[in-house]
A and B are shown apart, each in its own frame.
Chain A
Amino acid sequence: MAQIAEEAVVRKSVRVQVPVERAFSVFVEQMESWWPADHHIGAQPFQAIFVEPRVGGRWYERDAQGNECNWGTVLAWGPPHRVTLSWHLGPDWKFNPDLAKASEIEVRFTAEGPSTTLVELQHSGIERHGEGYEQLRALLDSPGAWETTLAEFAKVAR
């Protein structure tokens, strides 16, 4: 299990040429300016993504009609250096309120200079979304569905 847990972590880092405060602010306050527009869970594309600035705050998207869809919850809030969010969306992009089935995203912002910031992201506990995987596998096992689903995977995996 330890090995699986280790495998189920995604780490990304990026060095940006802005002060740490701005890096943090764009990350949590202007998420809709960079989040891939095709990854939304509402029926309509999102217009804005909100991270409420406190522990226990909501993380959610809102569409042009004002409909809101939850993504997760703020687990740790330490501006401008750290934010931790729970992620309740499986690979099927459906919300699962069960915290035991949620993964965790921790983002650290380190000032390397007055206008250089290292942003390190760790998405751990991905194995907890295993249910979504079972659904994917059921799709793959159903006759005819495989080709289209896999074509999507192939696009995603590349």
Chain B
Amino acid sequence: MAIFQKLAGGPMAVQELAGTLPVSRPAVSQHLRVLKDAGLVTGTKAGTRRLYQLNPEGIALLRAHFDQVWDKAMRAFEKSVEQPKTGEKHGTDRRRSRRS
């Protein structure tokens, strides 16, 4: 995608990005916001402007991914654990698994 590739060349401000792409500045800002939410891009203040750059390690992206997975999982766990007891799971499979 264009914004992502542009930023691969170094940090850029919204104005610069919009100037080199055939899209409007609000569209660029919106894309940047999605990229930021996904942890792919970070923004830093440089004077009056905000410079956007790729998050090179991608750690934030990975973290966001697992954070979301566990958020969902733990909410479901909370719900499941507080329900009345459920029956034995999968009969022999379960016992075999327990004893193995």
- The answer to whether A34 touches B77, judged by C-beta atoms less than 8 angstroms apart, is yes
CB closest residue in chain A, given B81? A26
Q: How far is the CA of A123 from the CA of B37 in the complex (A)?
A: 20
Task: Count residues of A near B (Cβ-Cβ below 8 Å).
Answer: 53
Select A126's contact among B35, B63, B77, beta carbons within 8 Å.
Answer: B63
Within the complex, what minimum Cβ distance (angstroms) separates A53 from chain B?
A: 6
Chain B interface, >50% SS class: helix
Q: How far is the CA of A72 from the CA of B39 in the complex (A)?
A: 26
- Taking A4-B59, A7-B63 as given, write out 13 further A-B residue pairs in contact, using a Cβ cutoff of 8 Å, ordered by the A residue number: A14-B77, A22-B81, A33-B80, A34-B77, A47-B90, A123-B70, A130-B57, A136-B61, A140-B1, A150-B35, A154-B34, A158-B37, A158-B68
Report which B residues bind A (CB closer than 8 A): 1, 4-5, 8, 34-35, 37-40, 57-82, 86, 89-90, 93-94, 97-98, 100
Supply 21 A–B pairs (Cβ within 8 Å), ascending by A: A16-B77, A26-B81, A29-B94, A29-B98, A30-B86, A33-B80, A34-B76, A34-B80, A39-B69, A47-B90, A53-B98, A62-B93, A91-B61, A119-B77, A121-B74, A126-B59, A126-B66, A140-B4, A150-B1, A153-B40, A156-B68
